[in-house]
Amino acid sequence: MPGANGGRNAFQPHLVRVVTARDETPDVRTLRLTFLEPAVAERFRWEPGQFGEFSVFGAGEAVFTLANAPTRPGYIECTLRGIGKVTGAIHALSVGQVLGFRGPYGNRFPVEAWRGRGVAFVGGGIGMAALRAPLQFVLDNRAEFGEVVVLNGARSVADLVYKDEMKEWQATDGVRVVRAVDPGGETPDWDGEVGLIPQVFERLGLEADGRVVVVCGPPVMLHYMFLSLAKLGYTPEQVVTTLENKMKCGLGLCGRCNIGRVFVCRDGPVFTWAQVQALPKDF
């Protein structure tokens, strides 16, 4: 898939400018970025599920999923939590400031194979960012897919991302949006679900009738989601997830993200549940 680097040094970033910065939660922001070089912007292509390396000069670089679908071109977006030196520096950027970008890297969600089927998107916390691009793709091609269910969960109401966008998703025909927070994370006016995400999913009554389940969140959430999905009769081939296991270079060269013979950045980050089952148990 063509990216932005052409024949350049693979580690040399292109420059992108922040055109909007939206606070999702007190520590999570979504940045919209455009390439400074028109020729790079013209040839840049990506697919839902791919990621990029974002860098602040003097601070370093970090991996984030490309959070918008290629059906919405002209810019790229990332949603990130500012918790360390690099992510904190990127989180602090203002509109008009410049950072580095290289990519896209990794494989993709097999969105074409989902056509004609129902799709359930299950995101835990900032894991919802990895699901936003394939969700946008499905919404932008709505007539080609079956029922769409979005389960967006977080520890508390304050930690829910994409609050405004959920209203837009819900307004789309054939789309059901479910908001959920962990027990104790609700507010007095909360009208969504309360419970851990696997428990909430089980209560939705979604039969394993060929629909695809796309799930992303912390490892403990994935573990219990897989248990719930098995109990409900879903097969490992019906379930797709995305991993970001210590990815660093993005090219499969540094060795930080390898799991046995698998490199998450090169062979992933998108894996079926069946593929996850085949990975070493200590991953």
Residue 267 gets the label, from left (phi > 0), alpha (psi -120 to 50) or beta, of: alpha
Q: How far apart are CA 251 and CA 245, in angstroms?
A: 14
Exposure of 263 by Cβ count < 10 A (0-12 exposed, 13-18 middle, 19+ buried)? buried
Q: How far apart are CA 132 and CA 123, in angstroms?
A: 9
Q: Side-chain half-sphere of 162: how many Cα atoms within 13 Å? A: 34
Q: How far apart are CA 50 and CA 136, in angstroms?
A: 14
Q: State the CB neighbour count (10 A cutoff) for residue 83.
A: 11
Q: Which of 104, 100, 180, 132 is nearest to 28 (CA)?
A: 132
Q: Contacts for 228-237 with beta carbons within 8 Å, 24 or more apart?
A: 228/198, 228/199, 228/201, 228/202, 229/201, 229/273, 231/202, 232/202, 232/206, 232/207, 232/208, 233/207, 233/208, 234/208, 235/208, 235/274, 236/272, 236/273, 236/274, 236/276, 236/277, 237/272, 237/273, 237/274
Tens of each residue's pLDDT in the chain, 283 residues:
445 555 567 788 999 999 999 999 999 999 999 999 999 999 999 999 999 999 998 999 999 999 999 999 999 999 999 888 999 999 999 999 999 999 999 999 999 999 999 999 999 999 999 999 999 999 999 999 999 999 999 999 999 999 999 999 999 999 999 999 999 999 999 999 999 999 999 999 999 989 999 999 999 999 999 999 999 999 999 999 998 777 888 888 888 888 888 888 898 899 999 999 988 875 5
CATH numbers and ranges of domains, the chain: 14-105 (2.40.30.10), 111-242 (3.40.50.80)
Q: Is 233 helix (H, G, I), strand (E, B) or coil?
A: coil
> 3-state SS of 43-73?
HCCCCCCCEEEEEECCCEEEEEECCCCCCCC
